């Protein structure tokens, strides 16, 4: 098998930071190669160097044995490199075909687009990966999974030699993930090299041939996947061994904190009923689109339910806006961290204090000393990795960003925490730390609602579990009733 | 404790590099014009420079607030003119000076509120909303004045533009004082930090319980009030209210704010930077006139400088490792 890509001694410096040190990596034809490591280990930097976003400081890159200097993203594409990112980067207002052919639309006459050809070619490409989609459909009307397929189609149109998948399954349902794996298998069969990045171990063991483990910007090892097991790989990543990931202490639940009665919102969820007790970790499981996030957003006052009511600490609490919910002690850690959880361009100080400015101000004037102190307190308490509390949040890794969001609500003194997909895009090490935070919260008598589409996680963490399917509440199971198969069946609408 | 004190200092200097850069450019300009023209560095001329910059400078303060919130306010020039007309009309009708100013400020604040309501509740893009108020308000001015200048203002009012405090013109004193106030508002108040949060990520701000509505109303009202004060100062300086007063101020104010480090995509901006930005542009204009530079060439230089300043700032930020 021919080697497509060789990276030798790649080092990358950013001002004041060494992001990568002496990395060697090679990728063969028809190989699926996993790149694993905690957030901040240097995976993104490698991708960005390959895609021409960053330039290496030292080292050599060879494509098919020839040294090459990847100048910019366009150059990377022309060399046959393509990348599918977690947050798909498509023009939302344009059609599928227009996205696929952006920059090189087929023409009838100079300047006149040949739409018929463009659309039929789009259909052909999409069908080659088993996806049926109207080439004229506007991207913003498609589901996340469909958009991801379009992004893949866009790369395939340029007949790539190497495709990078960066957390491609983070937002996909089980079924959509299967479809993606079929597409990847097809790429492999066609001799394309695949660089696969995921935090989900079972995926790596299922589809990958080899794995390169990174830690703190250095390469730990490249291993054949058949030579290692999950525990071994994780311990290489975090530098320590792991046993029970979800082994946190639980508490005896107290009085009812939150009671949801017949809550409905047209097109999203219907007659949802549940109660959450103090000190409990209440899980919510369901596939994407099952209405989980919409329910908690309604409870939080971020959108308005059509009917039903919410009781919070025994009082009717159909909050009209998030501000009221927050005043009453509720906290929402949203799924879309970058879009809804953080002000990326601002430092940790501003982000930490965003929900609690009124607590540290008098007559509208902030106590800046306190605001810095608070930020420092939660950076220390959550072991957020950052040079200082003045670091802009966009420069932090996913796990550390999530810690900043959690710190914001701890600073606000919240009592009821709603975590929507708390560990999406978070590496194994930071996951442990986030679970430890859960443990500490329940110890302090706080109440947690945890939404996750990652079943081992919700099963491992929850005291009880609510299962949703297409807006309907299927069941609430107690911990001793948890059974993976049964939960999956319920989540697929089978009673 | 020492650690905290050190960090506090750092916060106060903030992203101070833009400001230091601007101060350096200003210094160079002063040296160049001082060498080429014997008059430039005289106290008289420097005070005159401050007086000339003050009015647009005050407008720029409000513009920085708006730009940090990821908005834009094109109505500033019209509000300046509107405020001047209200003040002058009231004064001519014999209303006491403080009351006349108060009337101008409150009516202008109302215009700011209208902008805020259009933008927050009406979801009209700031560019369009304020473009509308800009046109409407200018027409209102014409109707009130019949397109005539209002003069015959009381001497006690005109003193505002002529008098000095410790040798510094009152106009400049007002500008500097408002700059200090705005600096503190931006750095140390809930309102100030809310503007940054909103400008950086609207949805995160809303879900963090920030009163988004009040923040946005506040931003456009703050801008309008700054314009109202600028309108009063301008009227005093011209000894009359002219219907076209303030036209074109929006571009000068936006330019000064942006040169001073404000980002039109929001979440970024500096009051001190805007102060220096405004001063830099008027220094160029005045210095150029003094050394007898063709005024058209002067405008070419100023236009280029705006772009170059922002360009250099972008390069500096990229070097700082903030590539996206």
- Inter-CA distances, A422 with A274, A403, A405, A427, Å: 21, 10, 10, 11
Pairwise pLDDT comparison (A103 vs B67), residue with the higher score:
B67
- CA of B49, closest CA in chain A: separation in Å? 34
Q: What is the per-residue pLDDT across B216-236, written as a single tens digit (0 to 9) for each?
A: 999 999 999 999 999 999 999
Q: With a cut of 60, say whether residue B2 has pLDDT above it.
A: no
Tell me how many degrees the CA angle A114-A91-B212 measures, rounded to the nearest 5.
Answer: 150
Confidence tier at A34 by pLDDT (50, 70, 90)? very high
Determine the residue of chain B that is closest to A323 in CA distance: B209
A282 closest CA partner among A446, A80, A170: A446
Quote the pLDDT of residue B214. 94
In a domain, residue B6? The reply is: no
B-contacting residues in A 273-332 (Cβ below 8 Å): 300, 302, 321-323, 325-327, 332
Residue B254 is part of a domain; what is its CATH number? 1.10.3470
Does A407 touch chain B if contact means CB atoms closer than 8 Å? no
Domain range list for chain A: 3-238, 257-491
CB contact (8 A) between residue A364 and residue B191: yes
CB contact (8 A) between residue B190 and residue A364: yes
Phi, psi of A288 (to 5 degrees): -60, 135
DSSP annotation of A239: S
CB B67 within 8 A of CB B182: no
Confidence tier at B320 by pLDDT (50, 70, 90)? low
CB A219 within 8 A of CB A46: no
CB A389 within 8 A of CB A400: no
Quote the pLDDT of residue A40. 67
Side-chain-side CA neighbours of B180 within 13 Å: the count stands at 5
Q: What is the per-residue pLDDT across B62-118, written as a single tens digit (0 to 9) for each?
A: 999 999 999 999 999 999 999 999 999 999 999 999 999 999 999 999 999 999 999
Tell me if residue A20 falls in helix, strand or coil.
strand
Q: How many C-beta atoms surround the C-beta of residue A62 within 10 A?
A: 15
Q: Please give the share of chain A, as a percent, with pLDDT higher than 70.
A: 98
Range of the domain at B185: 18-317
Does A377 touch chain B if contact means CB atoms closer than 8 Å? no
In a domain, residue B166? The reply is: yes
Pairwise pLDDT comparison (B275 vs A492), residue with the higher score:
B275
Determine the residue of chain B that is closest to A408 in CA distance: B208
Does A388 touch chain B if contact means CB atoms closer than 8 Å? yes
Mean pLDDT over residues A390-412, rounded?
90
Does A368 touch chain B if contact means CB atoms closer than 8 Å? yes
User: Which superfamily does A257-491 belong to?
Assistant: P-loop containing nucleotide triphosphate hydrolases (3.40.50.300)
Q: What is the per-residue pLDDT across B267-300, written as a single tens digit (0 to 9) for each?
A: 889 999 999 999 999 999 899 888 888 888 988 9
Least confident stretch, A206-215, B27-36, B159-168, B189-198: B159-168
A354 closest CA partner among B188, B209, B67, B183: B209
How many Å apart are CA B222 and CA B69, to the nearest integer? 12
Q: What is the per-residue pLDDT across A133-179, written as a single tens digit (0 to 9) for each?
A: 899 999 888 888 888 889 999 998 888 999 999 888 877 777 888 88
How many Å apart are CA A310 and CA A318, to the nearest integer? 6
- A and B: number of Cβ contacts within 8 A: 112
Mean pLDDT over residues A371-384, rounded?
91
How many Å apart are CA A476 and CA A443, to the nearest integer? 23
CB A292 within 8 A of CB A474: no
CB B238 within 8 A of CB B121: no
Side-chain-side CA neighbours of A96 within 13 Å: the count stands at 25
Q: Please give the share of chain B, as a percent, with pLDDT higher than 70.
A: 92
Quote the pLDDT of residue A191. 92
Tokens of A106: 């087929």
Quote the pLDDT of residue B254. 94
DSSP annotation of B241: B
- CA of B191, closest CA in chain A: separation in Å? 7
The residue to which tokens 């970790």 are assigned: A281
Give how many domains chain B has, as a whole number: 1
Tokens of B134: 């800009």
Q: With a cut of 60, say whether residue A471 has pLDDT above it.
A: yes
Determine the residue of chain B that is closest to A409 in CA distance: B208
- Inter-CA distances, A40 with A214, A332, A386, B120, Å: 9, 25, 11, 38
Q: Please give the share of chain A, as a percent, with pLDDT higher than 90.
A: 43
Mean pLDDT over residues B135-156, rounded?
93
In a domain, residue B195? The reply is: yes
Determine the residue of chain B that is closest to A414 in CA distance: B208
B-contacting residues in A 14-73 (Cβ below 8 Å): 14-17, 53-54
- Say yes or no: do domains A3-238 and A257-491 share a fold: yes
Q: In sequence order, which ranges of A382-463 are alpha helices (DSSP H)?
A: 398-411, 428-443, 455-461
- CA of B93, closest CA in chain A: separation in Å? 38
Which of B192, B207, B321 is facing A322, going by the closest CB pair? B207
The reported pTM is 0.74
Please identify, in words, the CATH class of the domain defined by A3-238. Answer: alpha beta
Determine the residue of chain A that is closest to B3 in CA distance: A373
How many Å apart are CA A132 and CA B149, to the nearest integer? 69
Average pLDDT, chain B: 89
């Amino acid at each position: 098998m021919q080697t497509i890509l060789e990276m030798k001694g790649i080092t990358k410096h950013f001002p004041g930071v060494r992001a990568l040190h002496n990395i060697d990596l090679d990728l063969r034809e028809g190989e699926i190669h996993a790149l694993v490591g905690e957030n901040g280990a240097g995976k993104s930097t490698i991708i960005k160097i390959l895609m021409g976003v960053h330039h290496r400081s030292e080292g050599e890159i060879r494509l098919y044995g020839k040294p090459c200097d990847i100048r910019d993203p366009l150059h990377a594409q022309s060399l046959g490199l393509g990348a599918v990112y977690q947050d798909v980067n498509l023009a939302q207002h344009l059609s599928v075909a227009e996205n696929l052919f952006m920059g090189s639309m087929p023409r009838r006459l100079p300047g006149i687009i040949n739409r018929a050809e463009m659309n039929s070619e789009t259909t052909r490409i999409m069908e080659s990966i088993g996806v049926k989609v109207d080439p004229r459909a506007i991207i913003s009307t498609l589901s996340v999974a469909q958009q991801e397929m379009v992004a893949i189609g866009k790369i395939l149109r340029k007949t790539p030699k190497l495709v990078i998948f960066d957390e491609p399954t983070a937002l996909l349902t089980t079924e959509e993930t299967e479809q993606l794996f079929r597409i990847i298998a097809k790429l492999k069969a066609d001799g394309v090299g695949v660089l696969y990045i995921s935090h989900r171990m079972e995926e790596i063991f299922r589809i990958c041939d080899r794995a390169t483990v990174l830690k703190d910007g250095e390469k730990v090892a490249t291993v054949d996947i058949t030579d290692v097991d999950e525990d071994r790989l994780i311990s290489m990543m975090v530098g320590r061994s792991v046993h029970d990931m979800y082994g946190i202490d639980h508490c005896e639940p107290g009085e009812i904190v939150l009671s949801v009665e017949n809550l409905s919102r047209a097109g999203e969820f219907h007659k949802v009923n549940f109660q959450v007790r103090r000190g409990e970790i209440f899980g919510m499981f369901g596939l994407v689109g099952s209405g989980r996030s919409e329910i908690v957003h309604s409870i939080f006052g971020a959108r308005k339910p059509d009917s039903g009511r919410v009781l919070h600490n025994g009082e009717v609490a159909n909050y009209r806006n998030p501000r009221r919910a927050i005043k009453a002690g509720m906290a929402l850690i949203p799924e879309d961290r970058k879009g809804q959880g953080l002000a990326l361009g601002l430092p940790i100080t501003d982000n930490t204090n965003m929900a609690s400015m009124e607590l540290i101000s008098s007559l509208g004037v902030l106590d800046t000393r306190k605001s810095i102190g608070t930020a420092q307190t939660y950076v220390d308490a959550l072991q957020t990795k950052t040079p200082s509390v003045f670091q802009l949040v966009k420069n932090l890794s996913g796990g550390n960003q999530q810690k900043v969001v959690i710190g914001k609500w701890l600073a606000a003194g919240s009592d009821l925490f709603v975590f929507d997909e708390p560990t999406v895009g978070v590496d194994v090490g930071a996951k442990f730390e986030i679970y430890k935070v859960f443990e500490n919260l329940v110890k302090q008598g706080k109440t947690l609602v945890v939404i996750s589409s990652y079943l081992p996680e919700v099963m491992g963490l929850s005291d009880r579990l609510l299962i949703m399917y297409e807006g309907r509440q299927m069941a609430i199971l107690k911990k001793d009733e948890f059974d993976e198969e049964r939960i999956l069946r319920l989540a697929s609408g089978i009673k | 404790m020492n650690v905290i004190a050190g960090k506090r200092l750092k916060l106060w200097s903030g992203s101070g590099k833009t400001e230091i850069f601007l101060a350096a450019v200003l210094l160079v300009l002063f040296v160049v014009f001082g060498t080429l023209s014997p008059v430039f560095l005289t106290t008289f001329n420097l005070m005159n420079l401050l007086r000339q910059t003050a009015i647009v400078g005050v407008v720029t303060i409000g513009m920085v607030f708006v730009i940090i919130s990821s908005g834009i306010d094109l109505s500033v020039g019209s509000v300046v003119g509107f405020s001047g007309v209200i003040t002058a009309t009231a004064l001519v009708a014999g209303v006491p000076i403080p009351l006349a100013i108060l009337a101008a400020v409150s009516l202008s604040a109302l215009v700011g509120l209208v902008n805020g309501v259009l933008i927050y509740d009406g979801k009209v893009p700031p560019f369009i909303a304020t473009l509308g108020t800009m046109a409407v308000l200018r027409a209102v001015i014409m109707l009130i004045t019949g397109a005539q200048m209002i003069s015959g203002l009381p001497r006690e009012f005109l003193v505002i533009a002529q008098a000095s405090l410790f040798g510094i013109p009152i106009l400049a004193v007002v500008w500097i004082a408002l700059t200090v106030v705005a600096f503190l508002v931006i750095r140390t108040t809930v309102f100030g930090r809310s503007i940054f949060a909103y400008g950086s990520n609207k949805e995160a701000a809303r879900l963090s319980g920030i009163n988004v509505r009040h923040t946005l109303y506040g931003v456009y009202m703050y801008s309008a009030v700054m314009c109202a004060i600028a309108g009063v100062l301008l009227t005093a300086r011209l000894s009359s209210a002219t219907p076209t007063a303030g036209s074109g101020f929006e571009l000068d104010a936006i330019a000064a704010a942006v040169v001073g480090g404000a980002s039109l995509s929001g979440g970024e901006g500096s009051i001190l930077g805007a102060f220096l930005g405004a001063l830099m542009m008027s220094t160029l204009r005045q210095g150029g006139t003094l050394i007898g530079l063709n005024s058209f060439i002067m405008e070419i230089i100023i236009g280029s400088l705006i772009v170059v300043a922002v360009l250099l700032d972008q390069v500096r930020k990229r070097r700082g490792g903030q590539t996206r």
